[in-house]
Structure formats: C-alpha cells, structure tokens
Amino acid sequence: MNMNQEIKELKENELISNVSRLFKEGYRLVQISCSKSDKLQLDYSFDKEYFLLNLRLFLSLENPEVQSITDIYWSAFTYENELHDLFGIHVREINVDFKGNFYRIQEDAPFLNSDSIQHGGKE
C-alpha cells in the first residue's frame, strides 16, 4: 500500500532546483508541513496522478531559514506564512509576506516553543 507515496530527502540548496523540475513535470503542490523533534523536518508534498512525492528537508532549531518556492508555486505563500507564524521559520523572498500576521495569535512560533504547550491550558 505504500506504493503510492515516496519520501525523498534533500539538502537545503537542492530544494529550488527539485521543485522547479517537479513544476515542469506537471506536479500539483499538495502541502508543506513541518514537524518538530530535535530538528525541524519540512515536508513538501506534490501529487501527480495520485502519486504523492514528498521532498524532505531538515533544519536546525536555531534560526531556521529556508528559501521560498512562491516563485514557482504562487499559492505556496499560505503554507510558508504558516511556517513562519507557527514554527518561526524565516522564509526568504516570499511573494506575499504577512510578516507574522497571517495567523493572528498572541505568541510567536507556538509550535517551536514547546514551553507554551505546557502553560497553554487553563485548569
């Protein structure tokens, strides 16, 4: 059943060339997600004929930075602003930069800052 998806690990500088190749091959941008462990794991998911290809990057927790793909996939700005607002990742050269106002929340980067998870609940 795992036939219909694949995960490909990349270095950060290979991202743009890979994404533009996928764009030319007619892949559709499905999503960009981020998961936090001891590193930040970025997944760029693309779909072509029900096959899901994931490009995976790892970023360090300190000052994470990544190049924007909005030059290639225009609508990626929603995902990239989400990365910025929830995970505190600085996305370079984004086409519509909300500068932290896409999600109107009080805390900065709540998903990165695990302390906020502990204090967030009200007993």
Partner 1 sequence: MASRTIIPFGPQHPVLPEPIHLDLVIEDEKVIEAVPSFGFVHRGLELLVGKKDFHQMVYIAERICGICSMIHGMGICYGIEHIMKIDVPERAKYLRVIWSEMSRIHSHLLWLGLAADAAGYESLFMHCWRIREKLLEIIEATTGGRVIFGVCKVGGTRRDIANSDIHGILITLKDIEKDYQNISKVFRDDYTINHRFSNVGFLSKKDAFELGAVGPTLRASGVSVDMRKTGYSAYRHLEFEALTENSEDCYGRCMVRVREIFQSFNLIYQAAEKLPNGPVDIKVTGNPEGEYFTRLEQPRGEVVYYIKGNGTQNLERFRARTPTFANIGPLVRMLSGCDLADVPVIVLSIDPCISCAER
Partner 2 sequence: MSFLKKSPWIIHYDGSSCNGCDIEVLACLTPMYDVERFGIINIGNPKHADVLIITGAVNSQNASVIKTIYHQMGDPKVVLAVGICAASGNFFRDCYNIKGGVDTVIPVDIYVPGCAARPEAIIDGVVAVLKLLEEKTKK
Shortest spacing between CB 16 and partner 1, in angstroms? 17
User: By CB under 8 A, is residue 26 in contact with partner 2?
Assistant: no
Residues that bind partner 1 in the complex, under the rule CB under 8 A: 1, 4-5, 23, 28-31, 33, 35-37, 43, 45, 47, 50, 52, 54, 73-78, 96, 98, 101-105, 110-111, 117, 120-121
Going by C-alpha positions, the residue among 18, 29, 44, 19 that lies closest to residue 75 is 29
Which stretch in 39-47, 61-69, 90-98, 103-111 sits in contact with partner 2 by CB under 8 A? 103-111
Instruction: Work out the burial of residue 118: count CB atoms within 10 Å of its CB; fewer than 13 is exposed, 13-18 middle, 19 or more buried.
Output: exposed
Residues in Cβ contact with 114 at an 8 Å cutoff, skipping those fewer than 6 apart: 36
